[in-house]
Amino acid sequence: MEMHRAKVVQKLTLVDIDTRKQNLEAAGYNQFLLKNDAIFLDMLTDSGMNVMSDKQLAAAMTGDDAYAGSRTFFELADKIKEIFGFDFFLPVHQGRACEHLLARVFVKPGDVIAMNYHFTTTRAHIMLCGGSVIELNLPDSLDNSSANPFKGNFDLDKLKALIAEVGPQRMPFVRIEAGTNLIGGQPLSLENIVAVAKICRQHGILTVLDASLLQDNLYFIKVREAACKDMSIREITRALADEIDVIYFSARKLGFAKGGGICLRSAELYDQFKELVTLHEGFLTYGGISITELASMTQGLEETMDFDMISQGPQFIAYMVDELDKRGIPVVKPAGGLGCHLDARAFLSHVPQAEYQAGALSAAIYLASGVRPMERGTVSEARNEDGSEHFADVELVRLAMPRRLFTRSQIDYAVDRIHWLFENRGLIGGLRFVKEPKVLRFFSGELAPTSDWSDRLVAKYKADFGDSL
């Protein structure tokens, strides 16, 4: 249940299914291109969608809005040092900016960046600098029914073998993503992070933590890792951070605010990064974001250390996963962070992967419910150099759970409409690209159905629900 009360509300609108179909067609069957007034429940992402607390809003009102030398920046830097133990902090406008700067500083042509699993924009920035990405995920990490509580863990034998194969001189850092966005928000254990850091130290390789989804990962470490059950969230955070050389994060996810930041131990690295921050982001004490966001971030990071504050998201996700699973609907298990993830490959087994199963299911969910999910499958991949399709390891549809936003009755509504869709899944067909950008096509590409399946789905909906929205 919610461990907070609502003080401010925002009206939602659920448009009828004919209007939803028109909206979808206008958006090229791409959820990113839908206008917000077309959405009933926005489950596209948790990025920038989390609800701020009364204390965060109060902090924002008292921020020191100076271009340089802001008191609010130094309060945030002190909070970073208190929580993570890092002496240097640089604010940037969001997590993607961190990825850009990290690639610029560390990656040169021929370098290899190992990670437990890639993220779309992270990999793109590394490749633009001439590097390559190697994923060292566990054998069962892509098994959506595996009961492994930490499917985000590194395969340590693969890490050792990669270092021996390419040499540490070609591996400027190992990226640790806590937890893994593209495979269902699956977490890492503290034990695994410690083991990865030990291997890296032995070979002089830096460890870089993407802490954007750390909030959920901290919850899972406490409730799933026996050795950590008696530790506080603050103690777990510090134990984890003590193993890492560089931490970066999107505050649009971590800290209930907007913006981002890079935490550094080394004064030498700080000097390298600060020049690029000034060039690309703004001055060192505001980093391209407003002072109000810096103030909100400081309070939000403190709230992230509160177990009651961070538990609702994972608990609501688990509730949604369990309710769908009871109805025989294929979902990623065990429930991870970030959101509930549907297995589109199993849901639409009659649709070829080349016709974008996850993209088609995502569009069908919007048609049936007004809920906007996100495709996390082949549409989110980039084509191979020869122009052929690069098929995703998994075809997932993510129903994100922004923190402190939704009520349980809204989740029940989404479950009910997805259940109806599952019972009528044979009506759903595939998609094809009609406008396909070369870089990050899932953000702005446009698609169209391969048949009249959306018309048939709308007709079935009206037959079952009549004039109901």
Phi, psi of 249 (to 5 degrees): -160, 155
Q: What is the C-alpha separation between 114 and 132, in angstroms, rounded?
A: 9
Could you give the count of Cα atoms lying within 13 Å of 385 in the half-sphere of its Cβ?
1
- Strands 260-264 and 374-376 come out as unpaired
Other C-beta atoms lying within 10 Å of the C-beta of residue 393: 16
Residue with tokens 């980039």: 382
First to last CA, the chain: 27
Residue with tokens 């509300």: 9
3-class SS at 241?
A: helix
DSSP states along 298-352? HHHHHHHT-HHHHHHHHHHHHHHHHHHHHTT--B-SS--SSEEEEEHHHHTTTS-
Q: Report which DSSP code applies to 400.
A: E
Structure tokens at 400: 């994100």
Q: What is the C-alpha separation between 450 and 438, in angstroms, rounded?
A: 21
Could you give the residue numbers annotated as active site?
67, 119-120, 210, 253, 376, 442
Structure tokens at 290: 């407003």
Q: What is the C-alpha separation between 345 and 145, in angstroms, rounded?
A: 13
- Strands 88-92 and 41-42 come out as unpaired
